[in-house]
Chains A and B, each alone.
Chain A
Amino acid sequence: MSFFDTLKQYDWEQIKDSIYAKTEQDVLHALNQTQCGLEDFKALISPAAAPFLEQMAQKSMLATQQRFGKTIQLYVPLYLSNTCSNSCVYCGFSHQNKIERVTLSEDQILKEAMAIKQMGFEHLLLVTGEHQKEAGFTYLMGAIELLRPHFAQISVEVQPMSTEEYQQLRQAGLHAVYVYQETYHQENYKNYHPAGKKANFQYRLETPDRLGKAGIHKIGLGCLIGLEDWRSDIWHTALHLSYLEKTYWQSRYSISFPRLRPNAGGFQPNMAISDRELLQVICAFRILNQEVELSLSTRESPTFRDHVFKLGITAMSAGSKTEPGGYAVHTKALEQFEVSDQRSPQEIESMLHEKKYEAVWKDWDRYM
């Protein structure tokens, strides 16, 4: 059994219809529950919930403060490589795009890491394109072994791997793995991923199962908002989370909400989501699940981030560069997508401080 078997029990169109059919009464019912279920969640992400955004935000903020306090964890991505054998139509790193390809050497990784360290970060997210030879398991294992002594927590957002490989990376000090399904629409998935290993929907979908079996501490989920009907994709993300929490109960979970951003491929989103709607999604997730970590990246604008972080978010990236060598090496590599919030980590910390929140730079330790 894996989540693939669970997903087979659901029909995309039926789910979509049931979300859009939710009424004001359904939303009020969901808002009055002590503990929401997945049916209530449909109401909270439906168009019918739009007039109740303020109530949702109030409820979400209180639940977040209760569990996480007035703290926001800060992390930063370190892009190790932009080589990629996939052809995802929405991604700047796509094999099809004629861009300068760079994979950082050990010396370059250390140089980048030290620049990040000087900014104050203890939590590091390693990111690569998906390329077996250039930036596969062996390369990543080397990078983790190299960086482990310098950071309290190392996470990755890289190509999916086997359970055994994840076990080995965990033993080397890997804390968390973020792997986004992009879309849960199995039929249309192949249109966005025409070639490369990522074209295998089932292998990607079962990655969190393999992570759970490997005992990875934290598993990050998400869908790419803008590919398919986002309400349906978000609901399937919640279904995935619910399945994983019950099956791999020792892992912690995190949800991200990446909206499609401009990139080298020039792909235009099929379905836009407004700021109001994105906030609705964040609040709905918090009302559904009080323990899950919710993350907000520098894809979002400073104004949006400054107002929304209080309303459900627990982690933010800051000072991000999305090209390999962006912090210190300065290669000619193109970035994966345009960063919207260009402020430095210290500016983000000051903003949090002004709003009476603590920026948490370290919440794990290398011995754990």
Chain B
Amino acid sequence: MQQLTIAGQEFNSRLFLGTGKFSSNQLMEEALIASGSEMVTTALRRVDIQNPEDDILKHIDPNRFRLLPNTSGVRTAKEAVFAAELAREALQTNWLKLEIHPDPKYLLADTIETLKACEELAKKGFIVLPYMQADPILAKQLEEAGAAAVMPLGSPIGSNKGLITREFIRIIIEQANIPVVVDAGIGAPSHAAEAMEMGADAVLVNTAIAVANDPIKMAEAFKLAVQAGRIAFEAKLGTQLNQAEASSPLTSFLNL
């Protein structure tokens, strides 16, 4: 399986994990390890960034995982930039998952503010991974604004509904020159495998693992599903046809 490269850094795993909703930080840590993930996002608002002994951070081993702080909770570009600068100083990372959702109900990304913030943060030297609507035009605009990857939603955050935006994700993948990470809505390993088969570079999963009866086992299931989906993509899936195609072509006799 090919490695994933984002902003020059290579990752063996194409499964990114979120850290919300776990019943304990200990369980979160065990699920992170079982997932084989190397990229973990955590909400800045949950972290006490003044305290290096913060409980969530203590459970995310920096030697195993790249920490991707996210700006969940901010409502404007201005707030996002401020949060990013605080995170960079306190957590010593310029990697950032940009999330701007002024709507607390469905947590849908604000397109205009996201683009504005991405542009400014990229200029300030951040490695920006924006969470976004599955909008192919916006994906290109974010790419031009300096995003290191784009993170379109499969369906609303936490909904577990899978890839209801699949047709737009397909176009985003087709047009992108930067990695595409399907974020939000992935509720089952089969959804993750489907995204990977389509050619997504990675997927980000949180609720489906954190809320499972056995989060550690579910993390392992996602690890395997992402690997299977990626290998299938690299092996090049057969084209879907509306008519049956004979496995022994009728004209093969011509080659005899």
Contact = CB atoms under 8 A, between A and B. Distances in A.
A267 interface: no
B98 interface: no
Contacts, number: 70
Given A365-B44, A367-B82, A368-B83, A68 B73 contact: no
B104 A70 contact: no
Most chain B CB within 10 A, of A69, A250, A252, A357, is at A69
B174 interface: no
Which of B22, B45, B48, B74 has the most chain A CB atoms closer than 10 A to its own CB? Answer: B45
Contacts of B166: none
A250 B210 CA distance: 26
A70 B48 contact: no
A149 to B, nearest CB: 10
Contacts of B211: 65-66, 69-70
> DSSP class of B's interface residues: helix, strand, loop or mixed?
loop
Contacts of A252: 104
B105 A245 contact: yes
Contacts of B136: none
Contacts of A365: 44-45, 49, 73, 83
B46 A69 contact: no
Nearest to B160: A66
B158 A67 contact: yes
A277 interface: no
Interface in A323-363: 353, 356-358, 360, 362-363
A358 B79 CA distance: 28
Given A69-B211, A357-B23, A368 B105 contact: no
B86 A367 contact: yes
Interface in B33-71: 43-49
Interface string A43-85: 0000000000000000000000111111100000000000000
Interface in B188-245: 207, 210-211
A317 to B, nearest CB: 20
A356 B23 contact: yes
Interface of A is mostly: loop
Contacts of A364: 45, 73
Nearest to B74: A368
Contacts of B48: 122, 152, 362
A69 B210 contact: yes
B21 interface: yes
A98 to B, nearest CB: 44
Interface string B126-168: 0000000000000000000000000000000010100000000
Contact of A291 (B24, B45, B104, B207): B104
Contact of B105 (A71, A249, A360): A249
A167 interface: no
B237 to A, nearest CB: 32
B23 A250 contact: no
B164 to A, nearest CB: 14
Interface residues of B, number: 29
Interface string B7-29: 00000000000001111110000
B46 A363 contact: yes
A364 B44 CA distance: 8
Contact of B21 (A69, A356, A367): A69
Interface string B82-125: 11001000000000000000111100000000000000000000
Contacts of A360: 46
Contacts of B22: 69-71, 358
Contacts of A353: 24
B75 interface: yes
A358 B86 contact: no
A70 B21 contact: yes
Interface string A136-159: 000000000000000010000000
A251 interface: yes
Nearest to A153: B45
A362 B103 contact: no
Contacts of B160: 66
A363 B207 CA distance: 17
Contact of B104 (A251, A363, A368): A251
Nearest to A250: B102
A122 to B, nearest CB: 7
B83 A358 contact: no
Contacts of B105: 245, 249, 291
B138 to A, nearest CB: 21
Contact of B75 (A69, A122, A250): A250
Nearest to A62: B211
B45 A363 contact: yes
A65 B210 CA distance: 9
8 smallest beta-carbon distances between A and B, as pairs = A69-B21, A70-B23, A252-B104, A356-B23, A365-B45, A250-B102, A291-B105, A358-B24
